[in-house]
Amino acid sequence: MGRAKGKTGPLARRPDNSAFKQQRLPAWSPMLTANTVLPFFYLLALICMVLGVWLLLTVQSIQEMKMDYTEAGGCYDCFEKRKNVTNAAKPCTCTLLFSIEKPFEGDVFFYYGLKNFHQNLRRYMDSRDDAQMVGRKKNLKTPSTYCTPFISDSENRPFAPCGAVANSIFNDSFTLKYQSNPSVAVPLLRNGISWYTDKNIKFRNPQVTNGTLAKAFEGTAPPPFWQKPVYELDPQEPINNGFINDDLIVWMREAAFPNFKKLYGILNRANHPFTKGLPKGNYTIEISYNFPVQHFQGRKLVVLTTLTWFGGQNHFLPIAYLVTSSLILVLAIILTVVWWKFGKDGKNMEE
């Protein structure tokens, strides 16, 4: 059989004699001169400044009110009572008074906030069973070992839901009232406050073929720090019970930082006098004080705020744009001065 003809030796490794492989394609190499670079710097500084001022004005148009009620007013007695773990199941209520000088126009969002509560610890974040939360009966009866030690009670009944995240759910409740004549409760939408993907995909109740939702959770126990089982979380809206409870879903999405706020409700603007938002005047918040914060030296807050297309009141991005604009402008001025003194007449090009 004859030997195949072809290139051998160094010629076999030589690239083809094409424009692409021999790098003979036409190319454009920009010449960076002061006349092209300096205008670009000034334009970029102007764009960043305009964006920064625009975002800053947008953020400043947001109305927000934060109130720390950890030990405020009548809540101090509840704060002292919650220092003792044995009093955790005993009810305690307090009232927070405040006034709104300027009406909150548009949609108003009611948040609760926590300080120094680290939801981003890896062991804490792993202490949950996502398969259980989508309603799998196998995991409902035999939760994942990741939930340990919050996996079952002394009678070997599995917790539903299991894990440290669910066990530590924020369980203070609030009733906002407008002190008009007479006093009227501010209507808050408590359902539909969770993410759509969480409500409809990540969280499901076990299927009930015959009986109530309580039948589906038969043989399980509520987590140690809970005061009622998961199928009774919302007595006013039975459809909002179980693993699809909005408060539970909102809490189960862990915060990235130790100081955070989570949505509690949205103002229902269907009826007078709240059709345009929260009117100015005096308000009270009746608080069912349950969540203890002494053990991690935390604080509790309520936050009333309006939102814009940009989101909440966050000054980081507009300040970042303004600082970047200032730095670019200073750099452009320095380069302009250097060019004017040393490069304008072309002396720097002389040999």
CA–CA dist 105, 269 (Å, integer):
11
Using one digit for the tens of pLDDT, what is the confidence trace for 8-59?
666 677 888 888 888 888 888 778 888 888 999 999 999 999 999 999 999 9
CA–CA dist 346, 339 (Å, integer):
10
Nearest to 245 by CA among 194, 302, 201: 194
Among 247-251, 276-280, 344-348, name the one with the lowest average pLDDT. 344-348
Residue 326, Ramachandran bin (φ over 0: left; ψ between -120 and 50: alpha; else beta): alpha
Q: How long is the chain?
A: 351
pLDDT bin (cut points 50, 70, 90) of residue 344 is: low
Q: Is 284 exposed, middle or buried (0-12, 13-18, 19+ CB in 10 A)?
A: middle
Task: Check whether the bond before 158 is cis (ω within 30° of 0).
Answer: no
Query: What pTM did the predictor assign?
Result: 0.82
Chain mean pLDDT for the chain: 89
Q: Are 206 and 137 in contact (CB under 8 A)?
A: yes
pLDDT bin (cut points 50, 70, 90) of residue 5 is: low
Q: Are 132 and 146 in contact (CB under 8 A)?
A: no
